[in-house]
């Protein structure tokens, strides 16, 4: 059965708690990237136009509750005030910010809401019980509203008080952003049009074991790049120098190669460097000739051509994880090449599963070349693993 969406709720005059993902980068009190705020606007504007009284909840950064000195510093650094101000600039309604997560000031601000107005509550992680899905905290937050909408796809893989606890106590629905994510990712992972090619990169095999296992069942080809490729090379008995290696995952990589060798596509050359640095001595070598004192930091030109060839004719392509250390210009070539190749595939349904690969595509101007770029790295990874996401599973069925 399908989940309820915000369209299925009667929101006029009702206090609607919306869990948004406003976990944005802030420096010196200024929001540096407002993309996540912008992504939430369709749901917020819908609720404003339909006369809801809107209460917004989001986490921001991390708060260490074990060390009191760190707790105060983290709270100061991760104050939601600049986010509320940035949001207000996008809206024509009253936006109030309450610097507390509970108490008389918050309750009064909520009670004073008029139809179409918004209250932004302080960072949910100011509360120690947020990440533990504390029942008392969930009950308190739920008491502020009458309906609950989840629109924070980047947090639906976490069973926290603000993502799951409130939803267990109030009539609930998906916001437009989460609804879109579920539809777009399902089209790629649950019902992909064949041929289906998956591209996996990033640092560690351990982060993506379940993703690899699930995609090997459904994809026609699984291309491996990034730091995780070196563990597969080691499994083939090759010299990988000082490249990233997960020793305890070599046997697992061997197993994948033994049982799915025809589906797995590994790089055939690499850009290697004398050190993990942008200005380090670096050059391109074949996969069989990585020097013992060098580390691989990107795929090479032969690998790019091989991967481009594997992508030809694909009808569905999913990508998660960069091909190299794309933050450093000399080692961004492979990642940019994958962006370009995917964005130019004729008639293909192309999805980036959030995280660093999404950042790379956006930063390099390929944003409009994809069918969908997910807003949730961890959540999209769990979706690609085939796991239910607790923040979506808890939402009421239609």
- The set of catalytic residues is 36, 204, 355, 378
Angstrom distance (rounded) from CA 206 to CA 385: 13
The string of DSSP letters for 277-342 reads STTS-EEEEEGGG--TT-EEEEE-HHHHHHHHHHHTT-SEEEEES-SS-TTSGGG-HHHHHHHHHH
CA-to-CA dists, residue 158 to 125, 162, 390, 398, angstroms: 13, 9, 7, 23
CA 276 to chain centre: 26
What's 134-173 look like in SS3? CHHHHHHHHHCCCEEEECCHHHCCCCCHHHHHCCCCCCEE
Coil, strand or helix at 372: strand
CA-to-CA dists, residue 386 to 185, 228, 349, angstroms: 11, 21, 19
Contact between 137 and 166 under an 8 Å Cβ cutoff? The reply is: no
Angstrom distance (rounded) from CA 116 to CA 84: 16
Whats the size of the chain, residue-wise?
Answer: 398
CA-to-CA dists, residue 278 to 12, 120, 181, 273, angstroms: 55, 41, 35, 9
Contact between 19 and 152 under an 8 Å Cβ cutoff? The reply is: yes
- Residue whose C-alpha is closest to residue 303's, from 268, 264, 337: 268
Strands (E) located in 336-393:
349-352, 372-373
């Amino acid at each position: 059965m399908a989940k309820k969406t915000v369209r299925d709720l009667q929101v006029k005059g009702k206090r609607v708690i919306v869990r948004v993902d406003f976990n944005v980068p802030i420096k010196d009190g200024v929001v540096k990237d407002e993309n996540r705020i912008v992504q939430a606007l369709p749901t917020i504007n819908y609720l404003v136009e339909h006369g809801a009284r809107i209460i917004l909840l989001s986490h921001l950064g991390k708060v260490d509750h074990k060390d009191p000195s760190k707790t105060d510093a983290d709270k100061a650094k991760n104050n939601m005030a600049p986010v509320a101000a940035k949001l207000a600039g996008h809206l024509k309604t009253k936006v109030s910010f309450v610097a507390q997560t509970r108490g008389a000031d918050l309750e009064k601000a909520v009670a004073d809401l008029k139809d179409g107005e918004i209250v932004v509550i302080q960072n949910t992680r100011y509360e120690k019980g947020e990440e533990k899905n504390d029942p008392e905290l969930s009950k308190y937050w739920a008491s502020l509203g009458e309906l609950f909408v989840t629109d924070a796809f980047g947090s639906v893989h976490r069973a926290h008080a603000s993502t799951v606890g409130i939803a267990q106590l109030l009539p609930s629905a998906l916001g437009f952003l989460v609804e879109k994510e579920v539809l777009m990712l399902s089209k790629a992972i649950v019902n992909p049009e064949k041929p289906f090619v998956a591209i996996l990169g990033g640092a560690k095999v351990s982060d993506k074991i379940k993703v690899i296992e699930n995609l090997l069942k459904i994809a026609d080809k699984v291309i491996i790049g990034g730091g995780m490729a070196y563990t597969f090379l080691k499994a083939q008995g090759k010299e990988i120098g000082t490249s990233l290696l997960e020793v305890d995952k070599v046997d697992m990589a061997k197993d994948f190669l033994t049982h799915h060798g025809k589906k797995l596509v590994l790089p055939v050359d690499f850009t290697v460097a004398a050190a993990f640095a942008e200005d380090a001595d670096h050059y391109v070598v074949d996969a069989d000739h990585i020097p013992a004192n060098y580390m691989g930091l990107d795929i090479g030109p032969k690998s790019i051509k091989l991967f481009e060839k594997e992508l030809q004719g694909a009808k569905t392509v999913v990508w998660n994880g960069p091909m190299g250390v794309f933050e450093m210009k000399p080692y961004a070539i492979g990642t940019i090449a994958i962006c370009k190749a995917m964005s130019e595939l004729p008639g293909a349904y192309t999805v980036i599963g959030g995280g660093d690969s999404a950042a790379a595509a956006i930063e390099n101007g390929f944003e409009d070349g994809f069918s969908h770029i997910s807003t949730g790295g961890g959540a999209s990874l769990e979706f690609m693993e085939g796991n239910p996401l607790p923040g979506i599973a808890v939402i009421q069925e239609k």
